[in-house]
C-alpha cells in the first residue's frame, strides 16, 4: 500500500518514464516443477508436473510425462495412485479431502523421488464479497470474513470471472490480525473485472509452509523490483524441485458487478 | 563502568607524561581565528611563524589555536583556503592572546598576493581519506532542482558513491548507507534525506562546512563503520544583521542572522519549505488532487561569548516530510536535534568543550482506508553527553582526550487501530542501550617531515532492561526468553578501536600517508526492500546481533604541481568487515517482535583505488575523480556461503566537475558522472504458480544494472552588488541529454500479451530545468 502511494505520487510529479528493455539474461537448465492440490471440495484433484523455461520464452511450460504419482491420506491410511489423464496432468481417483488430515505427495520421475506433506486446515467461511471502483478505471473485489481467534491462519484468495479462473493469486496471514473481522481488497488489472461480470472469489485456507512458498512467489511475481535480493521461492516439496503441494479448504462467494 | 574509571585514569597519566616532556622557558600564543565580515570562527585554519618554517598548528572546531615557542620576535601567519593570508608581528616576552580576523579573497581584486606561501596545505596538513568542503566551494555546482546540497556534492568525490536517482543515502568505500556517521553540530542525524533522497536535510544556507572522513577517522569519532560527515552550522553574523534567501521553482529559503551583542554573540535562523505539491491541485485525478508531498526544515543557532575563556552555543534542527494520498494513506517523518555546548579555555594550552546533545528520528504512518486503518509510530532517540579536551602541548605535539556517553531509546513501533480495523493493535517493546566511549589521540610531528597521529577509542555498548531478550535456534525459532527488569544490564560489549596515521613529506610538493582504523557500529538499520521509504527500522546490538567491526588500511600519495595550481591524490584502501547483517529470503521485518530471527550474519571486504585531480586556481576550476573498487559480502546461508558482490559494488565511478568564471557577472558549471550499475539479482528462468509466471534466480547479485551517466549544467548570474543588497540568479539543467537512467527494472507478465514476460525499466528525471533567485541584504 505505502509503496503504491509513493509510486503514484512520484510517477506523477517527476513525470517518470517507462520502457521495455531487452536484457542479456542467462538461461538456467530447465528445472523440474510440481503443483499438487487436494482440497475439501469435490474431486478429482490434479498434480501437474512441468519444467521451467527461460525468461524470454513464452509462458508455456513443457509437461513431464511418465511419472509415478501418489497421494496418501496419512491420517486415514488411504493411498491413491494418480493416472496421467493428459500430458503432465496426473488425476486422483477416489481420495477425498478431509480438514485436519495430513496428506503426503510422492512423485517418482526420471529416477528421483520427490516428497511433500501438507495438513488440511479447518475451513474459514467467506462472509461476503463486494466491489470497489475507487481507484480510477479498476474494479476490484473486496472480501469480508471473520478470522478465527487463537489459531494461526493462512489464506490464499483466488478469483474467477464469468467462470474463467483468473491467473492471479494473493496471500494473507493473520499474524497481525488474529481474531479480527477482515476486509481485504484484491489486486487486479483494470481489464480483468468489468461491470456486469459474475465474479466468484474463493477464500482458500492453506498451511504455513504453503503460505511461505506462495507469499514469496507473490512477491517475486508482482514486486520483484522492490526486493533488494529476490530469490526463488522455496518449495515445500523435498528432492529439489520447484512448485508446491497443498492440502487446502475452499469457501467461495459469487457476486455480480453493478456500478 | 569500573573499567572506564581505570581507563580514564590511565589516559590522564599518559597525558601527564607527555606534557612533562617539555622544556622550560617557553611562552604560548593562543586565540581565535575569525572571518572579518561575519565573525564566523574558522576551523582548520593554519597558524605558523615565518621564523620557524615547517611547524604550525591548525585551529580546532571552534577556531581556537595555541602555539608554544621560545621567547622572541615573530611574524605570525594565519592562512585558510579562500581567505587572504593574515600576518601580524609579535614580540613574545610572555603568554599572549592573538585573535585574528581574516578576509575572504572571493570578492577582492588583489587576488594575486596570496600565492607566495603555502597553498600546498593538502601535502602537509590533511590525513588520508579526509576531505573538507565549505558551502562556498559548492555554490556553483549544478544540482537537481537548483537546490545546492552539500551531501549531493560530496558524492562527486572519489570513494563516495550516490545510491542512485531517487535513493536515500550514499556509499563510502563499499559501506552501506547506514554506516555513515552524519553529524550536525555533533548530533547524530539518523535519516539525512528529504523527499526520499532527492534532497538532503542540510539546508546549505545554514551550513558552514563539512568534513568527510573515508578512513583515518580521529579517535574523537566513533559509532559507524564507513565514514564520518561532520557538518557544522553557521554561527551567525556577529557584526550586522543580514537577511538572505532564495526563491526556486520547487522550494524557497529564508535566513536571518545577526549579532545578539556585537562581537560577543550572534544568532542564525534559517527555514525552507518545498511546494511541489501545490501543482498536485492542478491534477484532474481527484486522488492526486487531495494529496500532499512536501517538507520543511528549520535551523537555529545562537552563541554568546561571556569572556575570553567562556563561550556557549545552542543549536537546533527540526525537519519534517509529509506525504499523503487522499483518504488512503499519510505518512510523515523527520529528525530533530539540539546541541548545547560550552567552550572553556582552562589555560592557554588546554581547550575544553562540553556538549549536551539530543537527537531524534521518528516516523508516523497512517493508513486511512476504512476497515483497514492502522496508525504506526516509531522513534529512535539519543541523549548524549560529550566532553572533549584539546591540549596544545607544543608546536610539535597536541593531545585530544575525551569521553562520550549516549543513552539510546528505540521504539520500533506501536500500531493503534479502530474497532473495525482488520489489524490488531500492537506495541513492539522498546529497546534501551548505553553507548560509552573514552578516547585519546596524540598528534606528533617527529620531524618536519614525519607526523604521527595515533590514538585509541574504547567503546562499551551496554544493552539495558527492561525487556525480553530472545535466543534463537538455527531455524529462527525462539528457544529461550530472558526477562530483564528496568535498568538491569543484559550485556556489555567492549571494543578497543585503535587509530593510527603516519605521513611522510617527500619534498615541498609531495607526500605519502598511511593509516589504519578500526571502527565499531552498534546501531544497525534493517531494510530488505529497494524502495526509499522512510520507515527505517533501527536495532541495537543484542545477544544475537553482534557489534559490526571494520578494519581499514589505506595508503595515499599526494602531489601538487604547476606551482600548486593542481592538486593530485591517489589512495588505495582495503577494508575487512565483520558481523555484517543480511536477511533470510522470506524475512518478515514488519511488526515483528522476534525480528532478529529473520537475520543472517557474515563478513564483507572492500578494496579500491581512488584518483583525484583538482585545479584550484584560475578562471577554470574543478576536478576529475575516478574510483576503481570492489565490495563483496560473505553471508552464511547466501550464495552457498561464498563471497558475492554487494549491491553497492560499482566497479568504475567517474565524476568530472568544471566551473568557469566567464566574467564578474557570469559563471558556468558542468558536472558529468558515470558509473557501473549496481549489482542486482535478475531471473534466469520462470515457472508457473497458479498460472502466474514466477521467476527463478540462480545467483545473488549476479547481474548489473545498466551503466549510469548524466550531464548537468549550471549558470549563475550575479546581480548588481551594492553595499546593501546582493542578488543572483541560478539556472540549472539536470540530466541535459536526457539519458534514461534506470530507477528500477521490474520483471512482469506483458500486459498486452499475457503469454509473454517482459522487463520494464522505470526512469526518473529526464532533463529537469530549474531556476532559483537568491538575495541578501
The backbone torsions φ and ψ at residue B144, rounded to the nearest 5 degrees and listed phi first, read -60, 135
Give the helix/strand (H/E) hosting B13. helix B2-20
**Before B699, cis peptide (omega within 30)?**
no
Q: Which residues of A touch B759 (CB under 8 A)?
A: 20-23, 55
- Binary contact (A230, B681; C-beta < 8 A): yes
pTM as predicted = 0.88
Q: Final residue of a domain: which of B118, B152, B185? A: B118
Same domain, B41 and B135: no
Same domain, A112 and A133: no
Same domain, A88 and A145: no
The radius of gyration of chain B's CA atoms, rounded to the nearest angstrom, is 27
Beta-bridge mates of residue B28: B68
- Binary contact (A55, B756; C-beta < 8 A): no
Same domain, B700 and B560: yes
Candidates A5, A61, A168; nearest CB to B688 = A61
> What is d(CA B53, CA B448) in angstroms, rounded to the nearest whole number?
9
CB proximity B686 to A under 8 Å: yes
CATH number at residue A52: 2.60.40.10
Total domain count for chain B? Answer: 2
Which of B165, B363, B415, B422 has the most A C-beta neighbours within 10 Å, making it the best mutation to test the interface with A?
Answer: B422
**Is residue B311 in a domain?**
yes
Least confident of A135-139, A206-210, B66-70, B157-161: A135-139
Per the structure block, which three cell numbers stand in for B408? 539510546
Cα-Cα end-to-end distance for chain A: 24
Per the structure block, which three cell numbers stand in for B451? 607526523
Provide the shortest C-alpha distance from residue A56 to chain B (in Å): 7
- Binary contact (A18, B583; C-beta < 8 A): no
- Binary contact (A6, B166; C-beta < 8 A): no
DSSP string, B62-81: TSEEEEEE-SEEEEEEEE-T
Same domain, B99 and B151: no
**Before A44, cis peptide (omega within 30)?**
yes
Neighbours of B481 (CB within 10 A): 10
Q: Band the pLDDT of B279: cuts 50, 70, 90.
A: low
Per the structure block, which three cell numbers stand in for B520? 565499531
CATH number at residue A142: 2.60.40
Same domain, B461 and B486: yes
**Closest B-chain CA to A158:** B690
- Binary contact (A232, B745; C-beta < 8 A): no
CB proximity B651 to A under 8 Å: no
3-class secondary structure, A3:
helix
**Is residue A6 in a domain?**
no
Same domain, A139 and A176: yes
Per the structure block, which three cell numbers stand in for B655? 565524476
Sheet containing A78-81: which strands, arranged edge to edge?
A: A78-81, A68-73, A102-109, A112-119
**Is residue A157 in a domain?**
yes
**Is residue A96 in a domain?**
yes
Same domain, A140 and A222: yes
CB proximity A50 to B under 8 Å: yes
CB proximity B284 to A under 8 Å: no
For residue B17, give its domain range.
2-118
- pLDDT of B639 over the 50 cut: yes
Q: Band the pLDDT of B124: cuts 50, 70, 90.
A: low
Contacts of residue A156, defined as CB under 8 A and 6 or more positions apart, other chains included, come to A169, A170, A171, A172, A204, A206, A211, A214, A248
- Binary contact (B766, A214; C-beta < 8 A): no
**Residue B647 near residue A229, CB atoms below 8 Å:** yes
Contacts of residue B20, defined as CB under 8 A and 6 or more positions apart, other chains included, come to none
Same domain, B630 and B772: yes
Same domain, B304 and B410: yes
CATH number at residue B51: 2.60.40.1120
Provide the shortest C-alpha distance from residue A187 to chain B (in Å): 14
**Is residue A135 in a domain?**
yes
E strand spans, B262-328: 265-274, 292-307, 310-325
Candidates B530, B585, B682; nearest CB to A25 = B682
Beta-bridge mates of residue B568: B559, B613
Neighbours of B584 (CB within 10 A): 16
Q: Which residues of A touch B766 (CB under 8 A)?
A: 15, 17
Same domain, B471 and B514: yes
Q: Band the pLDDT of B287: cuts 50, 70, 90.
A: low
Same domain, B103 and B167: no
Same domain, B70 and B178: no
Q: Final residue of a domain: which of A98, A119, A140? A: A119
Q: Band the pLDDT of B6: cuts 50, 70, 90.
A: low
Read off the DSSP letter of residue B83: B
pLDDT along chain A (259 residues), means of 10: 44 65 89 95 93 93 94 94 94 94 94 95 95 83 95 94 92 92 88 90 95 94 86 93 96 91
**Residue A123 near residue A99, CB atoms below 8 Å:** yes
**Is residue A223 in a domain?**
yes
- Binary contact (A1, B420; C-beta < 8 A): no
Candidates B291, B372, B691; nearest CB to A167 = B691
Same domain, A141 and A65: no
Per the structure block, which three cell numbers stand in for B493? 560489549
- Binary contact (B287, A21; C-beta < 8 A): no
Contacts of residue B293, defined as CB under 8 A and 6 or more positions apart, other chains included, come to A9, A13, B195, B276, B277, B280, B322, B323, B324
Candidates B527, B696, B756; nearest CB to A31 = B696
Q: Final residue of a domain: which of B60, B90, B118? A: B118
Contacts of residue A114, defined as CB under 8 A and 6 or more positions apart, other chains included, come to A32, A34, A105, A106, A107, A108, A237, A238, A239, A240, A241
pLDDT given for residue B337 in this prediction: 96
- Binary contact (B681, A226; C-beta < 8 A): no
CB proximity B426 to A under 8 Å: yes
Total domain count for chain A? Answer: 2
pLDDT given for residue B518 in this prediction: 96
Task: Give whole-number Cα distances, B24 to B70, B72, B495, in Å.
Answer: 9, 15, 39
- pLDDT of B501 over the 70 cut: yes
pLDDT given for residue B117 in this prediction: 41
Candidates A61, A221, A227; nearest CB to B530 = A227
**Is residue A225 in a domain?**
yes
Contacts of residue B617, defined as CB under 8 A and 6 or more positions apart, other chains included, come to B115, B564, B565
Task: Give whole-number Cα distances, A138 to A134, A141, A185, B340, in Å.
Answer: 8, 10, 12, 55
- Binary contact (B530, A52; C-beta < 8 A): no
Q: Final residue of a domain: which of B91, B118, B145? A: B118
Per the structure block, which three cell numbers stand in for B135? 558551502
pLDDT given for residue A211 in this prediction: 95
Provide the shortest C-alpha distance from residue A226 to chain B (in Å): 5
**Is residue B208 in a domain?**
yes
- Binary contact (A14, B372; C-beta < 8 A): no
Which of A61, A171, A230, A250 has the most B C-beta neighbours within 10 Å, making it the best mutation to test the interface with B?
Answer: A230
Provide the shortest C-alpha distance from residue A200 to chain B (in Å): 16
Which residues, numbered 105 to 164 in chain A, qualify as contacts with chain B under a Cβ-Cβ cut-off of 8 Å? 135-136, 158
- Binary contact (A59, B749; C-beta < 8 A): yes
pLDDT given for residue B123 in this prediction: 55
pLDDT given for residue B100 in this prediction: 87
- Binary contact (B685, A165; C-beta < 8 A): no
**Is residue A3 in a domain?**
no
- pLDDT of B667 over the 70 cut: yes
CB proximity A16 to B under 8 Å: yes
Same domain, B96 and B135: no
Report the sign of the C-alpha dihedral through residues B755, B756, B757, B759, in that order: negative
Contacts of residue B740, defined as CB under 8 A and 6 or more positions apart, other chains included, come to A17, A19, B761, B763, B766
pLDDT given for residue B111 in this prediction: 33
A&B contacts, CB < 8 Å = 249
**Is residue B123 in a domain?**
no
Q: Which residues of B touch A59 (CB under 8 A)?
A: 686, 688, 693, 749, 754-757
Candidates B530, B535, B582; nearest CB to A225 = B530
Q: Final residue of a domain: which of A82, A97, A119? A: A119
Same domain, A140 and A193: yes
Q: Final residue of a domain: which of A72, A93, A119? A: A119
Candidates A9, A169, A230; nearest CB to B697 = A230
- Binary contact (A23, B746; C-beta < 8 A): no
- Binary contact (A217, B420; C-beta < 8 A): no
Mean pLDDT of chain B: 86
**Closest A-chain CA to B744:** A225
pLDDT given for residue B286 in this prediction: 62
Same domain, A95 and A134: no
**Is residue A24 in a domain?**
no
**Is residue B125 in a domain?**
no
- Binary contact (A10, B166; C-beta < 8 A): yes
Same domain, B665 and B634: yes
Same domain, B635 and B752: yes
Same domain, A112 and A135: no
The residue behind cell 597521529 is B453
**Is residue B483 in a domain?**
yes
Contacts of residue B552, defined as CB under 8 A and 6 or more positions apart, other chains included, come to B173, B215, B515, B516, B517, B518, B519, B573, B574, B575, B576
Model pLDDT for residues B187-208, shown as the tens digit of each residue: 999 988 887 777 888 988 899 8
Least confident of A28-37, A231-240, B12-21, B282-291: B12-21
Which residues, numbered 16 to 55 in chain B, qualify as contacts with chain A under a Cβ-Cβ cut-off of 8 Å? none
- Binary contact (B422, A183; C-beta < 8 A): yes
**Is residue B124 in a domain?**
no
CB proximity A42 to B under 8 Å: no
Same domain, A136 and A98: no
**Is residue B8 in a domain?**
yes
pLDDT given for residue B448 in this prediction: 82
CATH number at residue B572: 2.40.170.20
Same domain, A89 and A43: yes
For residue A159, give its domain range.
128-233+250-256
Same domain, A165 and A103: no
Amino acid at each position: 500500500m505505502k509503496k503504491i502511494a509513493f509510486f503514484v505520487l512520484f510517477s506523477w510529479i517527476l513525470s517518470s518514464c517507462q520502457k521495455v528493455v531487452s536484457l542479456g539474461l542467462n538461461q538456467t537448465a530447465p528445472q523440474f516443477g510440481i503443483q499438487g492440490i487436494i482440497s475439501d471440495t469435490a474431486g478429482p484433484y490434479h498434480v501437474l508436473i512441468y519444467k521451467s523455461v527461460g525468461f524470454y520464452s513464452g509462458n508455456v511450460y513443457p509437461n513431464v510425462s511418465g511419472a509415478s504419482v501418489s497421494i496418501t491420506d496419512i491420517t486415514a491410511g488411504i493411498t491413491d495412485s494418480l493416472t496421467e489423464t493428459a500430458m503432465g496432468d496426473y488425476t486422483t481417483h477416489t481420495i477425498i479431502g478431509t480438514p485436519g488430515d495430513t496428506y503426503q505427495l510422492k512423485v517418482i520421475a526420471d529416477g528421483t523421488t520427490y516428497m511433500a506433506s501438507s495438513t488440511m486446515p479447518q475451513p474459514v467461511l467467506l462472509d461476503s464479497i463486494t466491489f470497489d471502483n475507487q481507484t480510477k478505471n479498476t474494479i476490484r473485489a473486496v472480501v469480508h470474513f471473520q478470522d478465527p481467534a487463537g489459531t494461526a491462519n493462512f489464506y490464499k484468495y483466488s478469483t474467477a470471472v464469468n467462470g474463467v479462473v483468473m491467473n492471479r493469486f494473493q496471500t494473507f496471514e493473520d499474524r497481525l490480525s488474529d481474531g479480527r473481522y477482515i476486509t481485504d481488497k484484491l489486486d487486479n488489472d483494470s481489464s480483468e473485472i468489468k461491470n456486469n461480470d459474475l465474479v466468484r472469489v474463493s477464500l482458500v485456507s492453506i498451511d504455513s509452509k504453503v503460505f511461505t512458498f506462495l507469499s514469496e512467489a507473490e512477491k517475486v511475481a508482482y514486486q520483484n523490483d522492490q526486493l533488494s535480493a529476490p530469490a526463488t521461492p522455496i518449495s515445500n516439496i523435498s528432492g529439489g524441485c520447484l512448485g508446491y503441494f497443498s492440502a487446502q479448504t475452499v469457501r467461495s462467494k459469487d457476486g455480480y458487478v453493478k456500478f | 563502568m569500573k573499567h572506564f574509571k581505570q581507563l580514564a585514569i590511565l589516559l590522564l597519566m599518559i597525558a601527564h607524561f607527555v606534557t612533562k616532556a617539555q622544556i622550560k622557558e617557553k611562552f604560548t600564543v593562543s586565540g581565535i581565528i575569525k572571518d572579518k565580515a561575519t565573525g564566523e570562527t574558522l576551523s582548520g585554519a593554519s597558524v605558523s611563524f615565518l621564523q620557524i618554517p615547517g611547524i604550525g598548528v591548525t585551529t580546532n572546531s571552534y577556531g581556537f589555536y595555541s602555539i608554544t615557542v621560545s621567547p622572541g620576535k615573530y611574524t605570525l601567519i594565519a592562512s585558510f583556503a579562500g581567505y587572504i593570508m593574515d600576518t601580524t608581528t609579535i614580540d613574545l616576552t610572555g603568554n599572549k592572546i592573538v585573535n585574528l580576523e581574516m578576509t575572504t579573497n572571493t570578492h577582492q581584486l588583489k587576488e594575486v598576493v596570496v600565492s607566495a606561501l603555502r597553498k600546498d596545505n593538502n601535502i602537509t596538513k590533511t590525513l588520508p581519506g579526509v576531505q573538507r568542503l565549505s558551502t562556498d566551494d559548492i555554490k556553483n555546482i549544478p544540482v537537481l532542482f537548483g537546490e545546492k546540497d552539500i551531501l549531493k556534492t560530496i558524492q562527486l568525490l572519489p570513494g563516495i558513491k550516490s545510491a542512485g536517482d531517487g535513493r536515500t543515502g550514499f556509499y563510502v568505500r563499499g559501506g552501506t548507507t547506514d554506516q555513515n556517521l552524519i553529524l550536525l553540530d555533533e548530533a547524530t542525524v539518523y535519516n539525512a534525506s528529504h523527499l526520499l533522497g532527492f534532497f538532503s536535510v542540510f539546508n546549505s544556507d545554514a551550513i558552514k562546512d563539512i568534513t568527510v572522513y573515508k578512513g583515518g577517522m580521529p579517535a574523537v569519532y566513533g559509532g559507524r563503520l564507513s565514514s564520518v560527515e561532520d557538518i557544522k552550522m553557521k554561527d551567525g553574523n556577529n557584526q550586522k544583521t543580514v537577511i538572505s534567501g532564495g526563491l526556486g521553482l520547487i522550494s524557497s529559503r529564508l535566513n536571518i542572522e545577526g549579532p545578539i551583542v556585537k562581537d560577543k554573540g550572534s544568532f542564525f535562523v534559517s527555514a525552507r519549505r518545498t511546494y511541489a505539491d501545490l501543482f498536485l491541485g492542478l491534477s484532474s485525478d481527484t486522488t492526486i488532487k487531495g494529496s500532499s508531498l512536501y517538507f520543511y526544515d528549520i535551523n537555529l543557532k545562537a552563541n554568546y561569548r561571556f569572556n575570553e575563556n567562556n563561550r556557549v552555543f545552542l543549536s537546533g534542527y527540526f525537519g519534517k516530510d509529509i506525504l499523503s494520498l487522499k483518504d488512503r494513506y499519510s505518512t510523515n517523518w523527520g529528525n530533530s536535534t539540539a546541541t548545547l555546548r560550552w567552550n572553556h579555555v582552562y589555560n592557554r594550552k588546554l581547550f575544553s568543550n562540553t556538549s549536551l546533545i539530543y537527537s531524534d528520528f521518528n516516523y508516523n504512518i497512517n493508513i486511512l482506508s476504512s476497515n483497514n486503518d492502522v496508525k504506526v509510530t516509531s522513534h529512535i532517540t539519543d541523549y548524549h553527553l560529550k566532553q572533549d579536551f584539546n591540549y596544545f602541548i607544543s608546536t610539535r605535539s597536541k593531545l585530544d582526550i575525551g569521553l562520550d556517553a549516549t543513552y539510546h531509546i528505540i521504539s520500533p513501533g506501536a500500531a493503534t487501530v479502530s474497532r473495525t480495523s482488520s489489524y490488531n493493535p500492537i506495541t513492539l517493546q522498546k529497546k534501551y542501550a548505553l553507548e560509552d566511549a573514552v578516547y585519546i589521540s596524540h598528534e606528533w610531528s617527529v620531524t618536519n617531515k614525519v607526523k604521527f597521529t595515533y590514538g585509541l577509542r574504547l567503546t562499551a555498548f551496554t544493552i539495558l532492561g527492561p525487556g525480553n531478550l530472545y535466543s534463537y535456534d538455527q531455524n529462527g525459532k525462539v528457544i529461550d526468553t530472558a526477562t530483564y527488569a528496568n535498568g538491569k544490564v543484559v550485556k556489555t560489549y567492549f571494543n578497543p578501536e585503535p587509530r593510527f596515521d603516519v605521513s611522510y613529506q617527500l619534498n615541498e610538493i609531495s607526500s605519502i600517508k598511511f593509516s589504519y582504523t578500526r571502527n565499531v557500529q552498534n546501531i544497525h538499520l534493517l531494510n530488505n526492500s529497494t524502495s526509499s521509504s522512510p520507515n527505517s527500522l533501527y536495532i541495537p546490538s543484542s545477544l544475537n546481533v553482534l557489534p559490526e567491526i571494520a578494519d581499514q588500511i589505506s595508503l595515499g600519495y599526494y602531489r601538487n604541481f604547476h606551482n600548486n595550481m593542481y592538486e593530485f591524490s591517489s589512495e588505495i584502501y582495503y577494508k575487512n568487515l565483520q558481523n555484517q547483517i543480511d536477511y533470510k529470503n522470506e524475512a518478515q521485518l514488519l511488526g515483528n517482535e522476534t525480528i532478529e530471527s529473520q537475520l543472517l550474519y557474515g563478513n564483507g571486504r572492500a578494496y579500491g583505488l581512488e584518483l583525484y585531480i583538482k585545479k584550484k586556481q584560475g578562471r577554470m576550476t574543478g576536478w576529475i575523480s575516478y574510483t576503481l573498487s570492489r565490495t563483496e559480502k560473505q553471508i552464511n546461508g547466501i550464495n552457498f556461503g561464498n563471497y558475492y558482490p554487494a549491491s553497492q559494488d560499482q566497479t568504475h565511478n567517474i565524476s568530472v566537475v568544471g566551473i568557469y568564471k566567464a566574467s564578474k557577472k557570469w559563471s558556468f558549471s558542468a558536472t558529468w558522472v558515470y558509473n557501473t550499475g549496481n549489482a542486482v539479482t535478475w531471473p534466469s528462468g520462470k515457472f508457473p504458480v497458479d498460472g502466474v509466471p514466477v521467476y527463478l534466480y540462480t545467483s545473488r547479485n549476479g547481474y548489473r544494472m545498466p551503466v549510469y551517466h548524466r550531464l548537468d549544467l549550471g549558470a549563475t548570474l550575479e546581480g548588481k552588488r551594492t553595499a546593501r543588497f546582493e542578488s543572483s540568479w541560478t539556472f540549472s539543467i539536470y540530466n541535459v541529454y536526457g539519458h534514461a537512467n534506470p530507477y528500477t527494472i521490474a520483471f512482469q507478465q506483458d500486459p498486452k500479451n499475457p503469454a509473454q514476460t517482459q522487463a520494464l525499466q522505470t526512469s526518473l528525471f529526464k532533463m529537469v530545468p530549474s531556476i532559483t533567485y537568491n538575495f541578501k541584504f
